[in-house]
Amino acid sequence: MTTEEKIALIENAIEAEDLKIDTVLGDIEVWDSLAKLSIIIMFDQHFNKNIDTPVLSAFKTIGDIVNEMVD
């Protein structure tokens, strides 16, 4: 899966547009508890991977999430 495809998955999961690899999560208007839950679900469904709170809390940019998205 390409970086662009991974970003598209994130955009779909959190219902955001025009995200870039260096987008800071705190700058995304929709980055709230529901978006974080959506990221957890996305990891489970697409990567069969459980993301716990410490890992989720460590994400600062879209790139951090993309780097964790390993098949």
The class of domain 3-68 in CATH terms is mainly alpha
Residue in 30, 59, 55, 70 with CA at minimum distance from that of residue 13: 30
- Nearest 5°: the CA angle 24, 27, 32 is 100
Give Cα 24 to chain centroid, integer Å. Answer: 11
Query: pLDDT tens digit string along 5-64?
Result: 999 999 999 999 999 999 999 999 999 999 999 999 999 999 999 999 899 999 999 999
Domain ranges of the chain: 3-68
Query: pLDDT tens digit string along 3-22?
Result: 999 999 999 999 999 999 99
